[in-house]
Amino acid sequence: MKMDGKIRVATDAKYKELYNNIKNNGVVEDFHELFYLCVCLGYRKGKPSPVKRRDDRFWSSTITPREWACYYAMVLEQNDFDYKKVSNDKEVLAIIEDYANAGMKILIEDFLHDYLLSSSRDTDPQLDPASCKELAKQFVHYIFEQSEPES
Partner 1 sequence: MILHKMMVENFRQFNGKQELEFVTPSQDNANVTVIFGENGRGKTGLFRAIMFCLFGERRLSQDGDVQREELQLVNVSALEASAGKPVRTAVELEFSHRGQTYRLRRAILGMQDGNRIIEEEDEKRLFVTTSTGNTRTVSATEIDAEIDNILDRRVKDYFLFDGEKIERLTRASIEQRREISAGIRNLLNVDALETAIRAVGRVAKTLEKELSNSSHEELSRLLKRLGDNEEEQSRLRKRLDDLADEMRRARKEIEDTDQKLTSFNEIRHLLDRRKSLEKDLNDLEQQAINALNEMRNLVCKAASLMVAPTVINVFEHIERQKQKGEIPSEIRRDLIERILEDDVCICGRGILKDPEAHSHILDWQKRTSDVTTQDSALNLWRYLSEVRNHFGDDADLVEKRLQQYGNFRSAIANINRSIENVSNQIGTSERQDATKLDDHRKKLQENIIALEADARNKQTQLEQLQQENIRLRALLKEEKLKVGRNDELSRRSILARDTQDALNDVYSQFTREIKNMIGDSATRLFRELLDKEGRENLRTIIVNDDYSLQVLDRYKKPFLANISAGQRQIMSISFIAALARTASRGDRIEIPLFMDTPFGRLSYEHRQNLINMVPTFASQWILLATDTEFRRQEAQLLKNSGKWGKFFVLRSTTDGNTKIVEQDISSALAILRDEEVYQ
107: contact with partner 1 by CB under 8 A: no
58 three-class SS: strand
16: contact with partner 1 by CB under 8 A: no
Which of 7, 70, 94, 95 touches partner 1 by CB under 8 A?
70
Which of 87, 88, 121, 124 touches partner 1 by CB under 8 A?
87
The DSSP line for 65-134 is HHHHHHHHHHHHHHTTT-GGGGS-HHHHHHHHHHHHHHHHHHHHHHTGGGGB-GGGTTSS--B-GGG-TT
**Backbone dihedral angles phi then psi of residue 29, each to the nearest 5 degrees:** -90, -30
The answer to whether 39 and 49 have CB atoms below 8 angstroms apart is no
Gyration radius of the chain's alpha carbons: 15
8: contact with partner 1 by CB under 8 A: no
Residues 25-64 that bind partner 1 (CB under 8 A): 25-29, 33-34, 36-37, 40-41, 43-44, 64
69: contact with partner 1 by CB under 8 A: yes
* Binding site residues, partner 1, CB under 8 A: 1-2, 20, 24-29, 33-34, 36-37, 40-41, 43-44, 64-70, 72-74, 76-77, 81, 83, 86-87, 129-130, 133-134, 136-137, 139-141, 143-144, 146-147
